[in-house]
Structure formats: structure tokens, C-alpha cells
Structure 1
Amino acid sequence: MITEARLGAYAWIERDGMVLLTLWQGAPERGIEPHWGLPGGGVEWNEQIHEATIREVREETGFDVEPAELLGVTVIHLTADDRIAPGDGPLRLVRFLSRATITGGQLTDEVGGSTLRAAWFSRGELAALPTEQVLDWALGLVDTGPTPGLPSPTR
């Protein structure tokens, strides 16, 4: 039985053929090496998905963004053994992916968080990087378009 759930808001940001990624620190104590993923993370209790997307991208990359269409939602179930702290029990992750456009700021690495750095990569470079599973899911959505029936982000 799932007793804990976590919402995550992630952004697909592509500019001039380059995709913005963030390097998560991993969990060396569990044998999980650092790997690249999309800017984003946990939605706080009182946040809307678009608000969390804006906040997370700013924290992890230094950029201000405007979320656009919601590309997709995925649900991932982790067993207690799959979690970074296995004693925490099973977890349901619900991830929201929005396309976003940069409106300001400058590329800056996060300080004091779980992201080590942010960087731009061409699509051709993505296959050679150690990446998180969410990136494969996102590439499929970006290339095929939003999941039918998804609402637009609310303001």
C-alpha cells in the first residue's frame, strides 16, 4: 500500500537547438552516481504546478521562466528498497512536465541544493550522458506533442 506521494514539476527548456539540463548529485551511499535530468523538483504544499516549475527552475538554473503547455504527467511507483532511504516505505511519484520559455536571469549553479550544476546540451549529446529516466519520457513527449486531454497550466 502506498502511503506517501510526491508531486514533481519539471520543465523542458530548449533554445537554439540546445536543451537545458541539471546534474543531480546522486546518492553515492546507495550506489547512485550523479546524472543529468530536467530542471524541476518537488511541489510544495501550497503551490500550483506552474508556480513550482518557476521556482524550481530558478533555484536550479538561475533562469526565470514562463511555463507553457503541459506536455504530460507520469506516475512512478518506488518500493521501499528502491528509495534512497529504504526504511521510508513505498513512494508514488507524480511528475508533471511543461514546456517553458526563459524570460530572464542567467545560468547559475544551485548552491546548497541537490543539483550540482546546470548546462546546455545539443540533442545529439544527450545519448552520451548519464541521464535520469524522466529525460527519455520527456523526449518522447516533446517529439510527439502534449498528451491529448491535458489542461493548460492555470495561472
Structure 2
Amino acid sequence: MDFRDYDTRLAAYVLLTDRAGRILLTWFKGDARSEPGWTMPGGGVEFDESLQDAAVREAYEETGYHVALGPLLADHHFTVGATADRRPFRSQRFIFEATITGGELGTTEVDGTTEVARWLPVAEVPALPRADIVDVALTLIEDRPTRG
């Protein structure tokens, strides 16, 4: 299928963990296409925005923290076929390592999809309702040292 035959959504996320073995996740309140659940701080890249700028902006909006980005840790995608009222769709997602540089825990976006940000023990996350991007992040945690 040619790239002109489907729609694409770019999204950038940050992976934040602490020395206590916790991960910072956000609660997505759900919408017409997705159930509520825990997800990574991050989201859609604006039309004229870099992946890095989007990750930093989304982290602040959803967690209240200012972050400095580290390296790109993963890229992941999924596709959804066409329906009677929608073209085929590709979601392309990027996860960056990040370090908190300031701010205060609390959601700053207004009328957004995030209700709360919370530090959760990594060991408890597999039992929680969550987006699949969280599972991508969990595999990354196994392969990297914990950062504060």
C-alpha cells in the first residue's frame, strides 16, 4: 500500500523511572476509539513540531514536569484497516529517555484526555488496564539502568 492510501498519526512519549522502581504513567480517560487506561506521558505530534519538541510539550502537559530528552529508545507502530467511514490508519510512536529537570507533578492540560499522572511500581503495571505502548516501555526498562 502506498503512503498516500492511508492516514498516519505520529506520537512521541517519554520514559521516566525512578530509583524506587516506579514508572511515571498517565491515566487516559478514554474516547470513542479507546478504553480508559494507563499510558505513557506523551501523545500526538503537531503538524509543524519535531518529535523531540512534542515529547517535551506532552510530558509537561500531562505530568507537570519539565524534562530533558535523552536518546530515542524505541519506535513502534501499529496499523488499523479501513472501515466504511475511515481510511486505513498507521500509528507511528517514538519513546525517548527523559530526565526531570523541574516542575511539579500534576496535569497542566485543559480539556485534554489525561486525568492524572502517577508514579506506579513497575512490578504492578502488568496487572493494570493499560495501553500497549506501556508494554513497549516495560521491555525497555528490563534493558536499562534505573534513573532518578
2:6 maps to which residue?
A: 3
1:59-101 deviation digits (Å, cap 9, x = unpaired): 11111001101101112101235xxxx7232211110001111
Q: TM-score, with normalisation over the residues of structure 2?
A: 0.86
Amino acid at match of 1:10: Y
CA distance in 1, matches of 2:136, 2:59: 19
Query: Does 1:116 find its partner at 2:115?
Result: yes
Instruction: Look up the match of 1:12.
Output: 15
Task: Find the counterpart in structure 2 of residue 102 from structure 1.
Answer: 100
Residue by residue, what CA displacement relative to the aligned partner does 1:88-136 show, whole Å, maximum 9, x if unpaired? Answer: 3221111000111110111112431011111110111212210111111
**Would the aligned equivalents of 1:22 and 1:38 in 2 still touch at CA under 8 Å?**
yes
Letter in 1 for 2:58: E
Query: Shift of the alpha carbon at 1:10?
Result: 0.5
Residue correspondence of structure 1 range 46-125 to structure 2 within 5 A = 46-81=48-83, 87-109=85-107, 110-125=109-124
> Residue 85 of structure 2 aligns to a residue in which SS?
helix
Task: Structure 2: give runs of 5+ residues left out of the alignment.
Answer: none
The SS at the match of 2:98 is strand
Q: CA deviation digits over 1:122-151, x for unaligned, max 9?
A: 111212210111111111123235xxxxxx
Structure 1 partner of 2:135: 136
Structure 1 stretches (4+) deviating beyond 3 angstroms?
Answer: none
Which amino acid letter does the alignment assign opposite residue 94 of structure 1?
Q
The 5-angstrom pairing of residues 30-41 of structure 1 reads 32-41=34-43
RMSD (CA atoms): 1.7
> Percent same amino acid at aligned positions?
41
Please tell me the residue identity of whatever aligns with 1:56. E
Structure 1: any 5+ residue segments left out of the alignment?
Answer: 146-155
Q: Which residue identity is paired with 2:79?
A: H
